[in-house]
């Protein structure tokens, strides 16, 4: 039931995000602006759909490993992938000391999982198994695509708001500015950001529950989340793009106070409490 409710919540939030997108497009340019917003949104989502995995892995300087070079990590993913019902994903190791992991890829057949060196050193076998099960759950549920679309639409709304500062607000036949357009341009990007983060939080709960099923127990993930949350608060992530924070299993510390104002993940203690109920 919890998984179903979170899926419904995600669908409603995505609908609200697209509604904001159309509202801003219509307010800024009437039917013409609405059409431009639809075309722009469609094109940017296609680009994000095709290249999101490459962008995320390149930003983290991920190095792909195979059966020979990936050791226990690769063998673990190979064992868990059939349990998750997904094709074997590509496996990457990232040089960052901040312990974390993420999944990416526009669809399961092009999925990828990545782990930082810090996480490999910090987590034991069962904890890493829980983390990899969590990332495979994201791939199975196509959460990477959902997050990419949400981030793209929110980014376009922010761009439209910035663009309006340069080209000016639309005016009626008497030269008066449109109050609706002003409100839409000012508030829509903030609302879109909040919706994007709410989507990310709802998907984390679903991935946690599915990870317990894939791994066969929630205990490894519970222990891993406790460790990752504690260490991530102290070790900054060398990640050049805070917009990718929602990809990680725990929200990384990026050294930016503004980035910390908007959480992309639920509180770790609430995630652990939900997992303990499954145990």
HEC per residue, the chain: CHHHHHHHHHHHHHHHHHHHHHHHHHHHHHHHHHHHHHHHHHHHHHHHHHHHHHHHHHHCCCEEECCCCCHHHHHHHHHHHHHHCCCCCEEEEECCCCCCEEEECCCHHHCEEEEEHHHHHHCCHHHHHHHHHHHHHHHHCCHHHHHHHHHHHHHHHHHHHHHHHHHCCCECCCCCECHHHHHHHHHHHHHHHHHHHHHHHHHHHHHHHHHHHHHCCCHHHHHHHHHHHHHHCCCECCCCCHHHHHHECCCCECCCCCHHHCCCCCCHHHHHHHHHHHC
Residue 251 annotated as catalytic? no
Looking at residue 6, what is its pLDDT?
Answer: 47
The confidence band for 161, taking pLDDT boundaries of 50, 70 and 90, is low
Mean pLDDT of 208-230: 96
The residue annotated as part of the active site, out of 127, 135, 204, 251, is 135
Q: Mind listing the pLDDT tens digit for each residue in 28-56?
A: 555 565 566 567 666 766 676 677 788 88
Q: Mind listing the pLDDT tens digit for each residue in 253-270?
A: 654 444 444 677 889 999
Q: Mind listing the pLDDT tens digit for each residue in 104-145?
A: 987 889 899 999 999 999 999 999 999 999 999 999 988 877
The residue extents of the domains of the chain are 2-278
Looking at residue 189, what is its pLDDT?
Answer: 67
Looking at residue 173, what is its pLDDT?
Answer: 52
Mean pLDDT of 223-247: 81
Looking at residue 257, what is its pLDDT?
Answer: 43
């Amino acid at each position: 039931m919890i998984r179903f409710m979170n899926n419904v919540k995600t669908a409603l939030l995505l609908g609200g995000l697209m509604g904001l997108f159309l509202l801003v497009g219509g307010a800024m340019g009437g039917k013409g602006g609405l059409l431009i917003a639809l075309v722009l949104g469609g094109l940017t989502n296609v680009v994000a759909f095709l290249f999101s995995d490459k962008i995320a892995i390149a930003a983290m300087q991920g190095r792909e490993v195979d059966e020979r070079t990936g050791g226990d990590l690769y063998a673990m993913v190979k064992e868990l992938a059939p349990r998750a019902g997904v094709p074997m994903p590509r496996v990457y190791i990232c040089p960052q000391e901040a312990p974390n992991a993420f999944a990416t890829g526009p669809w399961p057949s092009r999925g990828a999982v990545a782990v930082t060196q810090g996480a490999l050193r910090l987590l034991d076998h069962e904890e890493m198994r829980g983390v990899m099960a969590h990332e495979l759950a994201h791939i199975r549920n196509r959460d990477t695509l959902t997050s990419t679309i949400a981030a793209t639409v929110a980014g376009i709304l922010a761009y439209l708001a910035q663009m309006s500062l340069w080209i000016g607000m639309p005016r009626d036949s008497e030269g008066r500015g449109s109050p609706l357009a002003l409100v839409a341009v000012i508030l829509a990007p903030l609302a879109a950001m909040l919706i994007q983060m709410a989507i990310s939080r709802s998907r984390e709960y679903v991935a946690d529950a599915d990870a317990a099923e894939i791994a066969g127990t929630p205990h490894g993930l519970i222990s891993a989340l406790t460790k990752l949350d504690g260490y991530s608060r102290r070790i900054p992530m060398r990640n050049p793009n805070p917009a990718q924070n929602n990809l990680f299993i725990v929200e990384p510390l990026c050294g930016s106070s503004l980035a910390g104002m908007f959480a992309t993940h639920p509180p770790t203690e609430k995630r652990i409490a939900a997992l303990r109920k499954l145990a």
